[in-house]
Amino acid sequence: MREILQTMTEIAAAPLRYARRLQSETGKRSVGYVCSYTPEEIIVAAGANPLRLFGVTGELTRVDAHLQSYCCSLVRCILESGLKGDTDCLAGVVFPHTCDSMQRLSDLWRLNVTTGFHLDAVLPVKLTTESAREYYFDVLRRFREDMERESGVEITPGDLWKAYELMGQVRSLLFRIYALRCAEPNLLSGDDLLTIVKASMIMDRRQAAAMLGEIAAALSRETQEVTAFPGTGKDRKRLLMVGGVCNHPRLHGLIEAAGGVVVWDDLCTGARYFQDTADKTQGDTRETAAREGEPLRVIAESYLQRAVCPAKHAGLTSRAERIVSLVRDKGARGVIFLHLKFCDPHAFDYPYLKTALDREKIPHLMLEIEDPLPAEGQLRTRLEAFMEMI
C-alpha cells in the first residue's frame, strides 16, 4: 500500500507528466477537464483518459494579460498552465458550465490556448425540473457527438455502459475508502486521502480502480487490526470540511497537528465527486434504463442526483440540510469551511450555512485561502484555537 501511495503522490504532483507517460506507454491520450460535473463516462467511452486540471503551482507570468487579480486562483492557475504550453500533451480540454469565472475561462482558453480541441458542455444551472433533466440529457448527447468527432471514435451504447461501470467502480471504491477511514481515522492521513482522490481524477481509470481496490482491501485488513486495540484515533477531534477545491497537499497535516481530523467532506475534490453517484446509480435506475437502452439517461441522472455544487440549483436549503446531516452521520464535532478567495458561489452560501450550523450548535471555522497557502504559522494558530474551542 505504501508503494501505491507513493505512485499516487507522484501522479498527483505532476499530472501532465503522467499524461505524457500514459500516452507514450499505452498510446492513450488524456482529455483535460476543470470541474467535477464533467461527464467523464463519455470521455472514457471514447477511449481517452479524463484528467482533472488544477493549474500551475509556481509563479504566474502570463495570465495577468488575460485575467484580473479578482479572479480566483484556480481559474488563473489553470489558464496559466495552458498559456505556458504545459497542457500541450492533452488531446483537448472540456469546460462544463459552472460558475461565471469558469465560463470565461472557457472563452479565454478557446481564444488563446492553441493545443488540442476545446469543448463546452453547457449544462443547466437548475437541476430541479423535468425540462432541465431533459436538457441535461441533450447536453450529454451533444457532448458524445463532439467527443466522437474529436477523437474519431464511434461511441456505442456498450462503450458507455462499460465506462459507466468503470467510473462507478472508481467512485464506489473512493466511497469505501472514505467510509473505512471515517470509522478509523488513524488508518490514513488526510493528506494521503486527498492524494488518493486527486490521483483518481488523473490516472487511467482502470489503473485507478485497481489501485483503489488494493487500498480498500489493505485498509479493511488494518481496520480489523486497529479495532483490536480500541482507543487509537479517538483523541482527535472529528471534522467535516466544506468548500470547493482543496489543492493543498499539506493542509490536512496542519489540521491533524492541531489535534483535529477531517473525517468526511463536501468538496469538489472529495465526496461530491463520488457520493450519491456511488450509492444510487447501481440499483434500479440502471436496470430500468438498460432495458430502455439509453445509458446517457442513466449517466445524466447520476449527475442530477449527486451532491450539488453551489453554482447549481437543487433547492433552497438542500446544501444546509446535507451538511448538517453529514455532521451527524459522520460523528463530526465541527466544520471547516475551505473557501477559495473570489469563489462567488461558495461565498454566497456561507452565511446561510453558518446560520444552519449555529442553529444546530455545530462549531465552524472559515478558512479563505488562495493558491499558494498563506504562511503556515498563521493557519496553525487559527486551527489550534478552533480545536480548543470545540
Partner 1 sequence: MNEHIDRDRRKIKAVKKMKEIMTFYYIDAKTAADNNKKVAWITSGGPVEPLIAMDIIPVYPENHGAMIGASKMGVELCEKAEAMGYAGDLCSYARSDISCATVNGGPIGGLPKPDMLICGNNICGTVLKWYEIQARYFQVPLFIFDTPFCHTRFHPEMRRYVRTQVDEYIEFLETVTGKKLDRDRMNEVGRLSVAGQRLWQAVLDTATHKPAPLSAFDAFFHLALIVTLRGTRQAVDYYEELLAEMNQRVQDGIGAVPEERHRLLWDNLPIWYRTKWLSDKFAAHGACLVADTYTSAWCGSLRYMDENDFLESMAEGYTRIYLNIGVDEMARMVGEMVDKYDAQGLVMHSNRSCKPYSLGQYDIQRRVEAAKGIPSLMIEADMCDERNFSESQIETRIEAFLELLGERRDMPRPM
Give the shortest CB-190-to-partner 1 separation in angstroms.
Answer: 25
Cis before 374 (ω within 30): no
Helix (H, G, I), strand (E, B) or coil at 372: coil
State the DSSP string of 45-113: HTT-EEEE-----S---SGGGTS-TTS-HHHHHHHHHHHHTGGGGSSEEEEE--SHHHHHHHHHHHHH-
How many CB atoms are located within 10 Å of the residue 128 CB?
15
Give the shortest CB-389-to-partner 1 separation in angstroms.
Answer: 18
Instruction: Return the residue of 149, 221, 341, 359 that touches partner 1, per CB under 8 A.
Output: 341
Q: Does 313 bind partner 1 (CB under 8 A)?
A: yes
259 burial type by CB count under 10 A (0-12 exposed, 13-18 middle, 19+ buried):
middle
Contact by Cβ (8 Å): 268, 244: yes
What would the x/- binding string for partner 1 be over residues 260 to 299, using CB under 8 A?
----------------------------------------
Range in contact with partner 1 (rule: CB under 8 A) among 143-151, 186-194, 242-250, 348-356: 348-356
Give the shortest CB-72-to-partner 1 separation in angstroms.
Answer: 9
Q: Does 310 bind partner 1 (CB under 8 A)?
A: yes
Binding residues for partner 1 restricted to 103-162, rule: CB under 8 A: 103-104, 106-108, 110-112, 120, 122, 124-126, 129, 131-132, 134-135, 138-139, 141-142
**Nearer Cβ to partner 1 (157/315):** 315
Number of residues located near partner 1, criterion CB under 8 A: 50
How many CB atoms are located within 10 Å of the residue 72 CB?
24
Q: Does 349 bind partner 1 (CB under 8 A)?
A: yes
Residues 6+ positions from 314 with CB-CB distance below 8 Å? 127, 128, 308
Q: Does 243 bind partner 1 (CB under 8 A)?
A: no
How far is it, in rounded angstroms, from Cα 357 to Cα 339?
17
> How many C-alpha atoms does 282 have within 13 Å on its Cβ side?
13
Give the shortest CB-294-to-partner 1 separation in angstroms.
Answer: 16
How far is it, in rounded angstroms, from Cα 34 to Cα 50?
10
Q: Does 24 bind partner 1 (CB under 8 A)?
A: no
**Nearer Cβ to partner 1 (126/359):** 126
Instruction: Return the residue of 61, 114, 331, 348 that touches partner 1, per CB under 8 A.
Output: 348
**Nearer Cβ to partner 1 (62/280):** 62
How many CB atoms are located within 10 Å of the residue 69 CB?
10
Q: Match 501511495 to its residue by C-alpha cell.
A: 5
Residues that bind partner 1 (CB under 8 A): 65-68, 70-71, 97, 99-101, 103-104, 106-108, 110-112, 120, 122, 124-126, 129, 131-132, 134-135, 138-139, 141-142, 310-311, 313, 316-317, 339, 341-342, 344-345, 347-352, 354, 368
